[in-house]
Amino acid sequence: MKLVGSIILLFIGFCIYLAWLAGSHGQIQLRSYILEDWIFLSSILLCLIGAILLFISWIRYKYKHS
């Protein structure tokens, strides 16, 4: 279940990135005064961090019970 959750979070993060890319017409810029950029960036980072943590947890569980 952790592996599936990790893959789902990666997919969600990729979809958010594509939405940000489409909305900025292919030129992503992190402008500090625009809240939209920070929301997209933080959402992508949360998805990636969550996916990495779930994957590491899955690996630890797999090797602990082998």
Separation CA 54–CA 24 (nearest Å): 30
Q: What digits encode the pLDDT tens for the residues 10-41? A: 999 999 999 999 988 888 888 889 899 999 99
> CA-CA distance, 66 to 63, in Å (whole number)?
5
pTM, two decimals, is 0.87
What pLDDT does residue 30 have?
85
pLDDT at 29: 86
Residue 28: predicted pLDDT:
86
**pLDDT (tens digit per residue) in 35-66:** 999 999 999 999 999 999 999 999 999 998 87
